[in-house]
Chains A and B, each alone.
Chain A
């Protein structure tokens, strides 16, 4: 079983839609959780950290479920500019482990 697993997609959604990604992790000792966004041929950029209580940043909401060992990312009111690959990242100390990413295409 891979340490961090994500559905590779692609998720093709219309503008304005709500879309959710899940990610599962295998190391129960994991303490750090992040979502990164990566545009084609660019470096990953930190989207948000994921806290135990869940957190929201504008149209983006992240949740952590330690019991089931998954994290989620919800994007509301999708914009064309949200089209990218979303990387789930988990760490139990160093190093961080990256998932392969979920590709999102928002269509006009």
Chain B
């Protein structure tokens, strides 16, 4: 079946602009995760949804970052007043659930590469 999809794949924003990044998880996957990956680093957790509920947003770096998943499927990560330090790849992942074992395996989308100029 279809994997996780993300759009846009590339985004160039001028400093101060708002951006919205979309994630379409694997059908039937309850959990959805957003990560930020800087060059040469591993993915860093941003936030997590179980269905439409945002259960953990401890990784969001500032109040300029906001995520939603209103109907429990597609999710949007919004960054307001972008700064140069926001330049990174934003990865979305989904999993069947969070009970451990195979339910917990996360599958990633191709990412959105954001460049703030």
Interface residues of chain A, those whose CB is within 8 Å of chain B, are: 4, 31-32, 34, 42-46, 49, 87, 91, 93-101
Contact = CB atoms under 8 A, between A and B. Distances in A.
Interface of B: 31, 33, 35, 40-45, 48, 55-56, 59, 91, 98, 100-102, 104-111
B44 A91 contact: no
14 contacts: A34-B105, A43-B109, A43-B110, A43-B111, A44-B43, A46-B107, A49-B102, A94-B56, A95-B33, A96-B45, A96-B106, A97-B45, A98-B35, A99-B42
Contact of B98 (A93, A97, A99, A100): A93
Contacts, number: 50
A94 B59 CA distance: 12
Contacts of B31: 94
A45 B108 contact: yes
A36 B91 CA distance: 14
B108 A43 contact: yes
A42 B109 CA distance: 9
Contact of A46 (B35, B48, B55, B106): B106
Secondary structure class of chain A's binding surface, majority of residues = strand
A79 B89 CA distance: 28
A101 B104 contact: no
User: Interface centre among B33, B42, B110, by most A CB within 10 Å?
Assistant: B42
Contacts of B109: 43
A95 B40 CA distance: 21
A9 to B, nearest CB: 12
Contacts of A91: 104
A97 B33 CA distance: 12
A95 B100 contact: no
A91 B98 CA distance: 11
